[in-house]
Structure 1
Amino acid sequence: MKNLSVFSLFLVINISAVFSQNHYGKNGMVASASTYASQAGIEILKAGGNAVDAAIATTFTLAVTWPFAGNIGGGGFMVIHTENGEVTTFDFREKAPFASSKDMFLDKNGKLKSGSNHNTALAIGVPGTVAGLYDAHQKYGLIPWEKLLERAIQLAESGFPLPKSLANDFFQFAEAPEKYPEMQSFIKRDGKVVGFGEDWKQPALAETLKKIQKEGKKGFYEGEIAEALADYIQSQDGIITKEDLAQYEAIERSPIQSTFKGYQLYGMPLPSSGGVTITQMMNMWEQLEETPIIGSVQYYHILAEIMRIAFRDRAKYLGDQDFIEIPELEKLLSDEYATELLEGINFDKAGESTVTEIHSIHEGQETTHLSVMDANGMAVSMTTTLEQGYGVKMQSPDLGFLLNNEMGDFNAVPGKTTNNGQIGTPANTIEAGKRMLSSMSPFIITKNNYPFLVIGSPGGRTIINTVFQTILGTTVYDYPMAQAIEAPKIHHQWLPDRIIYEEYKMAPETLKALEAMGHEIQMRSFLGRLMGIKYNAETEFMEGAADSSSPDGGVAAY
């Protein structure tokens, strides 16, 4: 049965790979959720910019062409591999406003007010994207800041044909104006909803981008934009002030670094949980006595058990290290601890997750990722987010950009943990100025001190596991980039105690065998939307791919 399962699975992999092509480049490559944005990044590389410059241009263009998750009203994380082989990161995660408190989403009886931490202006965290991009450019960029926004401004002013995926969403918003009142001015021009294929112009966003182009991050966090943004949020009963904006700072941090079978792995430190959790899982995988056949029942069983344990530790220990001490962190990253954890895995039977231990909090799935590599060995892996699709679905018509609902990533009800995914541990409770825990997991893998893999994904809690499996696919199983991205993936997050798998990508006999081992199984349409670049040292070619589940994703290269 196992041999048939593997055969069926490889058949699915080969079929699915048809829909995600490997793209090749010699001098530079960008993979993102928008073909327009990837092309903007390549334009910058051709103009003499480096990977950091290209990543910035791509990100600003995503704010125009992919408002579903691309943004200047949210935040994210960036991992940079420099030309000289050094690796650093920029943390521009959103922060809790100064007026925040641990019980701000609770009613007088201590219960969560339904939707308050996701669907109201109270859910808006202080945006970090512009600060992070500007600071990264000031230290590592090559060409003038002003040039990096030119393509985004041009597309916002002149417009671009609205893609089908956005047009479908616009229609849904238009059908429910009472539910989404703040989205109506965003999706309409001259009183009419912009439709598929029609030029979508965003004049207010263009003017906002021009101010950022001229004044850098000060143009966003001070002056007219900051005043208008604070006034708008407060008009919607939010609590962000001009002081919150003026005092926001991105932080350059040292990466989480580890080794795996001759590779060097670099991920984000806290408050991104991805670097720690993926490192922990890679450490466990490296110490397996036998490497399972990819796609086999045993392969998925081991994956699930490793994920189960790592997500337990994620929720139990991890948060914003600027606010809490994490004495267990060094232990979590050690080989000795990985050995200890492996000893607790039953390789023939599913483990058991109990509510008395800690489990994961809900996170929105609608982040976006981009990977960039230039001809000189500089690489950028960056994931940004609004939290849910279109964030909190609010925007000032005078400014033209959507705002995040990242406050929902905090533990909203301190001390209360339930089976449905609510968590109340102290590490990620709300505090003024604190950054909320995230699953975003941009990674750069190097071999012989040169970038080998630049990878990341949107997907909320599933990000960690999709990136983990893609790293395994390229390093252990030597998959080309597109095949590693399209290969069937699973997700387990401690509780709810189940394996989630991707629709149409798992053989029925494999699923039955996993159920026979005691696993509960649940289907989802897709897990993550990976964007990756793999470098072949022998041919000196970059190989890139965008996940086929990303409706408008694309790779640009030259």
Structure 2
Amino acid sequence: MVLFKSNSSQIKYKRIILFLVAVLFVILTNPVWGQHQPLYESEDRFHPVIAQNGMVATQEALATQAGLAVLEEGGNAIDAAVTIGFTLAVTLPRAGNLGGGGFMLVHHADSKETVAIDYREKAPKGATRTMFLDENGELDSEKSRFSHLSVGVPGTVAGLTLALEKYGTISLERALQPAINFAKNGFVVSRDFYDSLGFALPRMSNSTASMEIFFKSGEEPYNAGDLFVQKDLAETLELIAREGIQAFYRGKIADAIVADMEANGGLITKEDLADYQPVIRQPVRGTYGDYEIYSMPPPSSGGIHLIQMLNILEPFELKKFGHNTAQTIHLMAETMKLAYADRSKYLGDPDFVPVPIAGLISKDYAEELRDRVNLEQATPSSTILPGEPNHFSESNETTHYSIIDRYGNAVSNTYTLNFSYGTGITVPGTGILLNNEMDDFSAKPGVPNAYGLIGGEFNAIEPEKRMLSSMTPTIIMKNNRPFLVTGSPGGSRIITTVLQLVLNVLEHDLNLAEATNAVRVHHQWIPDRLNVEKGLNHDTIQLLKEKGHNVQISDVMGSTQSVMKKDRWFYGASDPRRVGALTLGY
């Protein structure tokens, strides 16, 4: 068969084919041509998602789609954040919630202000310092983690609503629309959801309401591919859409929560719910090179210690040592120990205790701490004590999402029930899972909590006090505009996870996907152990051991959801460490 008649015609046709191939390549790789950019392909997961108008990164695909739809309709980042928060309460019930609380960092472009919305849970008025100690004065972890006593007064509904009223543009009814739809009409169960129910069964078996919602007859969890419907939760969400937060804190929902508390020895009363208020706080602010770091203030410890560690590490010029080399990891680990030692003594609810914020994030204090870092050998944690920041003073199941919109607004939000599915207890008739955040207090100062964190007097239980947190929602600005928005779940490892994501981008010049995928390490002072994810070079591990580090190979750490704006492009990346996450732009 003669395909081409002459050499000249062959050349002509070949040029046409090459031109068409080139055009096709541009179309497929240029974000201008695609409205919804997919998450990076599995074989090429080290490239971030790219878009022109806005970006959303969350732990759950349906929530990401719901948030992006709001942006496409002309809504802003705050509108999308509130929509996502309510949607995750339906589609990611192990962490998304109505019965928990959290922190939202907002950069509002019109007012040029960056604020922190604290909607952390509070201790009920009836809480006491010794409520989780047995007759021998020892901590009863069953009470502090899996009983109605372990429930803090929820803040999520009040916090999301406040954000929408103050900085949003859409109605509460519109923000709740996707959540109501998924609760009423259902969504398809993923393998990850199915697996999580298997782990939750032992605790949920003590709650009839939880078993009726999350399991079929005979304790059989919903299987991957099944349609999962939550009728009670749909009615709760519809009630909030009609009546606002009054329904949750003063009306029918409040009555149901209080009735469940009274029937099961819990402490939350109608007065506790009616008096709950979120707080708008000033974020903590630091610098790293040409960048401004904004993060969550107390009662989160995350922002303070993120900035504190960046201050200590900045002069070391880690880029010269190399990304994840033994020397870089050694310096990070020594810095982590110092920060977590300070956390144990100085952090708590600033409405109750004098947290020395200015001292802890001071560059001068960081210089003093830096002098305590042995450049060659690990310092035993037993020899490390909290520092003296007042000399410089003038403050594991969670989910995070990040958003930047085309108007220049940015949101970094982390919220939680504490453990996966919280207590495992559902308030009958409401579909609301209850948190177990009271375990985040220092029930007995000096005794580790569920995450191994040591707490002191500043975080002791008091009525109406907010418990200490490690959540670290963060917005990094460059030239007074949002550059990077990030955060992570992970209990005590949240702060160090965010630290490494930030350093990977700002110090090591990794693109956002590379920064997300890179191996992570963690040290929290006590226990004296350097946790390292699988994948770190064997020779590097050996060098760390020779420096005196007690290296232990760990499970994966955190699950960052990050977006950034560089020049005129938006970039985003969802962490592959937990399945189901999705980043989308348009």
Normalising by structure 2, we get a TM-score of: 0.88
Counterpart pick for 2:101 among 75, 79, 90: 75
Q: How does 1:31-430 map to 2 (within 5 A)?
A: 31-84=57-110, 85-174=112-201, 178=205, 183-188=210-215, 193-288=221-316, 291=319, 292-326=321-355, 328-354=356-382, 357=385, 365-414=396-445, 421=452, 423=454, 425-430=456-461
The answer as to whether partners of 1:185 and 1:397 remain within 8 angstroms in 2 is no
The answer as to whether partners of 1:17 and 1:483 remain within 8 angstroms in 2 is no
The answer as to whether partners of 2:85 and 2:96 remain within 8 angstroms in 1 is yes
Structure 1 residues 417 and 548: CA distance shift in structure 2, 3 A: closer
Structure 1 residues 167 and 128: CA distance shift in structure 2, 3 A: same
Amino acid at match of 1:105: F
- Of stretches 422-431 and 79-88 in structure 1, the one that deviates more from structure 2 is 422-431
Q: How does 1:474-513 map to 2 (within 5 A)?
A: 474-503=505-534, 505-513=535-543
* SS in structure 1 at match of 2:145: coil
* SS in structure 1 at match of 2:462: coil
Count residues in correspondence.
536
Cα distance in structure 2, aligned partners of 1:189 and 1:367: 26
Cα distance in structure 2, aligned partners of 1:424 and 1:40: 39
The answer as to whether partners of 1:355 and 1:419 remain within 8 angstroms in 2 is no
- Shift of residue 193, structure 1, vs aligned partner: 3.7
Please state which structure has a larger fraction of its residues in helix.
2
Counterpart pick for 1:534 among 564, 577, 586: 564
Aligned CA RMSD, in angstroms, stands at: 2.2
The answer as to whether partners of 2:109 and 2:408 remain within 8 angstroms in 1 is yes
Cα distance in structure 2, aligned partners of 1:358 and 1:108: 31
Amino acid at match of 1:109: N
* SS in structure 2 at match of 1:338: helix
Cα distance in structure 2, aligned partners of 1:371 and 1:418: 28
The answer as to whether partners of 1:20 and 1:547 remain within 8 angstroms in 2 is no
Cα distance in structure 1, aligned partners of 2:47 and 2:360: 37
Aligned: 1:30 with 2:60? no
Cα distance in structure 2, aligned partners of 1:457 and 1:67: 17
* SS in structure 2 at match of 1:323: coil
Cα distance in structure 2, aligned partners of 1:522 and 1:39: 38
Cα distance in structure 1, aligned partners of 2:329 and 2:421: 33
- Shift of residue 58, structure 1, vs aligned partner: 0.6
Residue by residue over 1:408-433, the C-alpha shift from the partner in whole angstroms, topping out at 9 and shown as x without a partner, is 00001146579994635211000000
Point out where structure 1 has 5 or more consecutive residues left out of the alignment: 1-13, 360-364
Structure 1 residues 445 and 153: CA distance shift in structure 2, 3 A: same
Cα distance in structure 1, aligned partners of 2:223 and 2:178: 23
The answer as to whether partners of 2:326 and 2:540 remain within 8 angstroms in 1 is yes
- Shift of residue 172, structure 1, vs aligned partner: 4.5
- Shift of residue 175, structure 1, vs aligned partner: 7.1
Aligned to 1:515: 545
Residue by residue over 1:90-114, the C-alpha shift from the partner in whole angstroms, topping out at 9 and shown as x without a partner, is 0000000000011000112211124
Amino acid at match of 2:165: Q
Aligned to 1:5: none
Cα distance in structure 2, aligned partners of 1:194 and 1:325: 48
- Shift of residue 173, structure 1, vs aligned partner: 4.5
Cα distance in structure 2, aligned partners of 1:247 and 1:59: 22
- Shift of residue 214, structure 1, vs aligned partner: 1.4
Counterpart pick for 1:545 among 573, 582, 585: 573
The answer as to whether partners of 1:17 and 1:482 remain within 8 angstroms in 2 is no
The answer as to whether partners of 1:173 and 1:183 remain within 8 angstroms in 2 is no
- Shift of residue 45, structure 1, vs aligned partner: 1.0
Cα distance in structure 2, aligned partners of 1:412 and 1:422: 12
* SS in structure 1 at match of 2:477: strand
Residue by residue over 1:359-413, the C-alpha shift from the partner in whole angstroms, topping out at 9 and shown as x without a partner, is 9xxxxx1000000110011000000010010100000230002110000000011
* SS in structure 2 at match of 1:287: helix
Q: How does 1:13-28 map to 2 (within 5 A)?
A: 18-19=44-45, 21-28=47-54
- Shift of residue 488, structure 1, vs aligned partner: 0.9
Amino acid at match of 2:69: E
Cα distance in structure 1, aligned partners of 2:349 and 2:483: 29
The answer as to whether partners of 1:366 and 1:388 remain within 8 angstroms in 2 is yes
Cα distance in structure 2, aligned partners of 1:190 and 1:418: 35
Structure 1 residues 174 and 367: CA distance shift in structure 2, 3 A: closer
- Shift of residue 154, structure 1, vs aligned partner: 0.4
The answer as to whether partners of 1:473 and 1:479 remain within 8 angstroms in 2 is yes
* SS in structure 1 at match of 2:142: coil
* SS in structure 2 at match of 1:147: helix
Identity within the alignment, % = 42
The answer as to whether partners of 1:320 and 1:436 remain within 8 angstroms in 2 is yes
- Of stretches 395-404 and 57-66 in structure 1, the one that deviates more from structure 2 is 395-404
Amino acid at match of 1:270: P
The answer as to whether partners of 2:451 and 2:491 remain within 8 angstroms in 1 is no
Amino acid at match of 2:189: L
- Of stretches 470-479 and 91-100 in structure 1, the one that deviates more from structure 2 is 470-479
The answer as to whether partners of 1:456 and 1:467 remain within 8 angstroms in 2 is yes
Structure 1 residues 67 and 375: CA distance shift in structure 2, 3 A: same
Amino acid at match of 1:392: T
The answer as to whether partners of 1:419 and 1:495 remain within 8 angstroms in 2 is no
Point out where structure 2 has 5 or more consecutive residues left out of the alignment: 1-39, 388-395
Amino acid at match of 1:70: G
Cα distance in structure 2, aligned partners of 1:419 and 1:354: 21
The answer as to whether partners of 1:268 and 1:442 remain within 8 angstroms in 2 is yes
The answer as to whether partners of 2:98 and 2:154 remain within 8 angstroms in 1 is yes
Cα distance in structure 1, aligned partners of 2:524 and 2:431: 36
Cα distance in structure 1, aligned partners of 2:511 and 2:455: 41
Query: Larger Rg: 1 or 2?
Result: 2
Cα distance in structure 2, aligned partners of 1:366 and 1:556: 23
Structure 1 residue runs of 4 or more that deviate by more than 6 Å after TM superposition: 14-17, 417-420
Cα distance in structure 1, aligned partners of 2:367 and 2:426: 49
* SS in structure 2 at match of 1:79: strand
- Shift of residue 476, structure 1, vs aligned partner: 1.2
- Of stretches 106-115 and 88-97 in structure 1, the one that deviates more from structure 2 is 106-115
Residue by residue over 1:439-468, the C-alpha shift from the partner in whole angstroms, topping out at 9 and shown as x without a partner, is 000000011111110000000010000101
- Shift of residue 230, structure 1, vs aligned partner: 1.2
